[in-house]
Structure 1
Amino acid sequence: MTVGSVALVSLLAFEALAVGTAMPTVARALDGLGLYALAFGGSFAAGVLAMVLSGIWCDARGPRGPMWAGVGLFVVGLFVAGSADAMGTLVVGRAVQGFGSGLLSVALYVVVGQAYPEELRRRVFAAFAAAWVVPSLVGPALAGLIVEYLGWRWVFLAVPVVALPAVLLVESGLRTLHRPPPAGPPAGAAARIGWAAGAGVSAALLHHGGQQRGVLAVTLVAVALAGLGVCAPRLLPAGFLRAARGLPTVVGLRGLAAAAFAGAEVVIPLMLSRERGFSPTAAGLVLTVGALSWSVGSWAQGRLPPPRSSATLPRLGLACVAAGTATVTLAVWPAVPVAVGVAGWAVAGLGMGLTFPSLSVLTLALSAPDEQGRNSSSLQLADSLFTATVLALTGTVLAAGTTPGPAGYAGTLAVAVACALLGALLAGRVVPGRERPA
């Protein structure tokens, strides 16, 4: 089960990274530059809706159904995209693929909650984090080679060869998991699905607006943020906006951590290229340092003895992200050696490795068995929606001028530092009222 689950996570990671490499070639080949942004935004929006549906489905019937449906739709979407003869068809395939990914990602969390004892969950989530490392190291380069020598279609068509055997490895364990008695959807499920659709559309609009310029960009981003402001709180735990103790804060910290890291990650290559003269390859290697240290942090948290307080690892991890990203900001100025920034990014990656698995374990620990699906979907929704918001705002700021300069890069990185620092300050609130924070 562990091998199959990690393989599925690796495939989701590879496809997410490889498509970005292949898409410029795809858009040229299909004469579809006008739909370029929608190929990403549509997949993202479908994934948001699918996460909510998967949480409802898992809680009502167990994770086996959404697991198989997710893999099936993921594979169908890949086939549709890989065989597309028009950009519109590829956009449809990407949306189907994104929907399958959303179903699958939540179901995998519920599988961990039901199949593994609590003392092993930190190690399993560490393995999930590590499953992103190899794709992040070799995925873009491998996708480039596939596009160059085999053709862009094989970036989509090769993945199902591994996906189906991987889910079969998980199947034997799925059959043994507890299945709730057949029941109708929980109260409020229809409304939750509607709010998820609204959040997905708003997130897609936010993604599209972040790639525009001028008044159009500001208008689209403003409308999208308003939509997210209305829809997102209704999909996240009650008390989320006021950082209520326990699960609401856990979900909020996941969003803040993801937004902080992603917000810095998109700025660093541009900053190093324009301000320090780095080649694209050299700038990419700096990001690789963060990916490797993330893996090290995940490995370490899975083998450390359980801390006295459940707030310890999230607080330490987010403090590392804040301190590391602040150190990266110093590398904007030529007087500071680039090695200082690289070391800072390694510290930030280490912090993410400590933070992400510990928040996943806390989510399951704070969830009743019939709430694991809903709460796992909330955790991943916070990750996706916070990241989309920060990336769109960052893209809008950077697109406002052709040469942002040191102050512009420092300003965007400061937003990432602020997100991580806020998370570190709130980390003590992951502790329910009955437990005293250390």
Structure 2
Amino acid sequence: MPSFLRKFPFSLQILLGLVVGVLLGFVARANDLSWLTSTLDTVGGLFVQLLKLAVPPLVFTAIVVSVVSLRGVANAARLALRTLLWFGVTALIAVGVGIGLGLLTNPGRGVTLDTAGATAPERTGSWTDFLTGIVPTNPVGAFVEGNVLQIVFLALVVGAAAMLVGPAAEPFVAVNRALLEIVQKALWWVIRLAPLGTLGLIGNAVASYGWDLLAPLARFTTAVYVGSAIVLFVVYPLVLVTAGRLNPLRFYAGAWPAVQLAFVSRSSVGTMPVTQRSVERLGVPREYASFAVPFGATTKMDGCAAIYPALAAIFVAQVFGVDLTVTDYLLIAFVSVVGSAATAGLTGAIVMLTLTLSTLGLPLAGVGLLLAIDPILDMIRTATNVAGQALVPTVVAAREGILDREAYDSAGRRDVTDPVLPAKPTVDRPADDLAPNPA
């Protein structure tokens, strides 16, 4: 990266890449410059590939090390349960926003689309995906396929076994610690390329899709963006204030680099390293963040698994002339809260949407009507996902008294690419809380 760019904060670098990418995208689209579109696609695609390349070893080693380091923590199980509880609570609120907005805007009413040519996607979601998706057929396959949920499962089992084995497992744990440090160092070389990746990703999106495809689906697209904005800037701040007694402005100052990167990369898993760094900068202990963030990246999807399926189900029902009942809306809420775990490790919102439609008995061909604009919708969905993945660990840490308030209040004053200092213990924090057992 040119030295003069390092003088600018990381968030500003990404914003600059986004602006330049939009301009280049419009130039490529207006002048039909296929070579420029291809170049932007290549630059953005390579950046996402590099991010995903580092994710499997990062997730595995981080969870193994964190499990072993938590051997002396009395409240580890409580932290995990509280995290899952807040995942469910915030997802339920998000799906409520999606359903309410759908009933208010009627996104599919009056829309005239050719439903005869719409076909169901090749890959669909089902409730058995949770059982078949969480346990790999072999450990190598999980890493080859990049199935993060399976990697998390393997890491939890291996970490727990290493913890129980005790001193005999120390050489193995030491190797994982060393590998984790190496992966993190290499990964931050990739993260520093985010402004270039942003330029390519957003530029290709504008050049390939523009705004032409939005016309017949303008109401639905607007509803998805408005619903996500309500969750991002109304629901989440209220949760921070009421549940965590935290300043929302400080939260967004610390989490914004991850939200920005999620918007342009459209990958919660690819953004996970920045999300974890942001959460740690907000004062969440590293031992806890290394659990919560990987779990969130695979199961906490308020955009893709709550707001979007709710609005899309209402849209498809209205386009095909199907009346939804109160029971159907309750089913949408149930699928959104529970189903995100069932589709973890599979492809994005498409699988989640097919699961929702099949549960309601709606035509799966309706998914085909939305595929054309899916990349445009996926940007705001993923940004909402990642904001929620940062929110829950922060709120849980605040409620459990383990959040470093000083770090939280100063999060926005430091750049996300700077090193993270060890969290300071709070006054009301037990002496052995979240401290590795020296034995």
TM-score between both structures, scaled by the size of structure 1: 0.28
Q: Which has the higher contact order (CA 8 A, sep 6+)?
A: 2
More helix by share: 1
Larger radius of gyration: 2
